[in-house]
Amino acid sequence: MSQPQNVSIFSPAKINLFLAVTGRRADGYHELISVVAPLDFGDELAAEIGDGRPATGAQFSLECNDPALPVDDSNLVIKAAQAFVAATGWKAAVKFRLTKRIPVGAGLGGGSSNGTAALLALNQLSGAGLGRAALMALAAGLGSDCPLFLPGGPVVMRGRGERVEGLPAAAVRRLHGRSVLLFKPSFGVSTAWTYERLAAAGPESYLAAAEAESRLATWIEGEADAAELLFNNLEPVVFRKYLALPVLLKRLRSQFGLAPRMSGSGSACFALLPVGAPLAEIRAAIVEAWGPISFVQVAAIA
Ligand code: C5P
């Protein structure tokens, strides 16, 4: 069977519906228990086998519609491609084109999702046929949030993020298709900074793993709505420095009855949208608090 010469892969954003950081590991990373869901909103990664290598001699090139994004070896798309080649020995030259919509530094997993999309694109183009376990191992080597994008639906991730399992069908039914409002101020937050501050804040900023597992099991095995699952214990450290976040979230709670949360290490936040929510008014409140260049997007849980 002949291999395709080009592929285009949807690279979704994610939100952390439940994020419990349970402790720090000896390697400096943190142990997590998180329910993460991909959205129907995201980037698009196109990959095309080239006629030959570009003048630079590099095997991979990357173009992006966002000029602020580095397209060199520091981009997870290129890192993923290099990891794929190291694992498979594939030699063809590939041109990537990334259409970026997910804001950067947002806790929406954009860069990680792009890295995983690059692995999937090369697996198709090369015909290497790497299976789930091999792709998971490559994704885990790229970044903590890369493996969660492989299954293509809501997952529980544990460890540093490398242990990923699907949710039972009854739990997925309470999440799939739910409408969410994503919103982010013009500034981003560094993931590494957030985890450093959490570690500096002392052991009481973690949630014990047994407590996190028990809360999660209660939600998974019960019938409670998605709203009952929402939790993120990275919020206090981020909210202490970036006051604009808690100020707006408080207003969205009191004025609109929403239950907004921060996603991952921020700065993006999200709220599950009830049917008939006054979107124009909510959007106006966000823009009034965070300014006209804040990002606001309606999406659905995939
Ligand atoms: O793995 P990734 O590059 O996405 O992580 C970015 C940074 O966030 C790490 O360098 C680390 O400081 C922090 N981190 C952590 N524990 C995790 C994930 C990320 O401490 N589980």
112 closest CA partner among 60, 164, 65: 164
Q: Residue 85 has what pLDDT?
A: 97
CB 204 within 8 A of CB 156: no
Domain ranges of the chain: 6-166, 176-300
Residue 276, Ramachandran bin (φ over 0: left; ψ between -120 and 50: alpha; else beta): left
Its sign, for the CA torsion 144, 146, 149, 150, is negative
Going residue by residue through the chain (302 aa), what tens digit of pLDDT does each one get? 578 899 999 999 999 999 999 999 999 999 999 999 999 999 999 999 987 776 677 999 999 999 999 999 999 999 999 999 999 999 999 999 999 999 999 999 999 999 999 999 999 999 999 999 999 999 999 999 999 999 999 999 999 999 999 999 999 999 999 999 999 999 999 999 999 999 999 999 999 999 999 999 999 999 999 999 999 999 999 999 999 999 999 999 999 999 999 999 999 999 999 999 999 999 999 999 999 999 999 999 99
For the whole model, what pTM was predicted?
0.96
Atom 11 (ligand 1) nearest CA? 192
CB of 195 shorter than 6 A to ligand 1:
yes
Catalytic (active site) residue 14: yes
Q: Count Cβ atoms below 10 Å from residue 127 Cβ, excluding itself.
A: 12
- Among 43, 79, 100, 145, which one carries the catalytic annotation? 145
Centroid of ligand 1 to alpha carbon of 287 (angstroms): 30
Q: Residue 55 has what pLDDT?
A: 67
Q: Residue 3 has what pLDDT?
A: 80
Tell me the C-alpha to C-alpha distance, in Å, between residue 121 and each of 9, 46, 51.
Answer: 7, 8, 18
User: Measured between alpha carbons, how far is 196 from 254 in angstroms, rounded to an integer?
Assistant: 32
Centroid of ligand 1 to alpha carbon of 53 (angstroms): 34
Domain covering 176-300 assigned CATH 3.30.70.890 in the classification: yes
Catalytic (active site) residue 145: yes
User: Measured between alpha carbons, how far is 8 from 97 in angstroms, rounded to an integer?
Assistant: 9
Task: Tell which CATH classification among 3.40.718.10, 1.20.120.450, 3.30.230.10, 3.10.129.10 matches the domain 6-166.
Answer: 3.30.230.10
CB 175 within 8 A of CB 247: no
User: Measured between alpha carbons, how far is 80 from 158 in angstroms, rounded to an integer?
Assistant: 22
Centroid of ligand 1 to alpha carbon of 6 (angstroms): 32
What's 154's DSSP letter?
A: -
CB of 34 shorter than 6 A to ligand 1:
no
- Among 14, 79, 100, 184, which one carries the catalytic annotation? 14
Q: Residue 51 has what pLDDT?
A: 78
- Give ∠ CA 252-254-256 in degrees, rounded to 5: 55
User: Measured between alpha carbons, how far is 11 from 15 in angstroms, rounded to an integer?
Assistant: 13
User: Measured between alpha carbons, how far is 170 from 175 in angstroms, rounded to an integer?
Assistant: 9
Mutate to test the pocket of ligand 1, among 25, 144, 162, 163 (most ligand atoms within 8 A of CB): 144
Please list, in sequence order, all residues whose beta carbon lies within 8 angstroms of the beta carbon of residue 201, skipping any fewer than 6 positions away. Answer: 236, 237
User: Measured between alpha carbons, how far is 102 from 196 in angstroms, rounded to an integer?
Assistant: 25
Atom 10 (ligand 1) nearest CA? 192
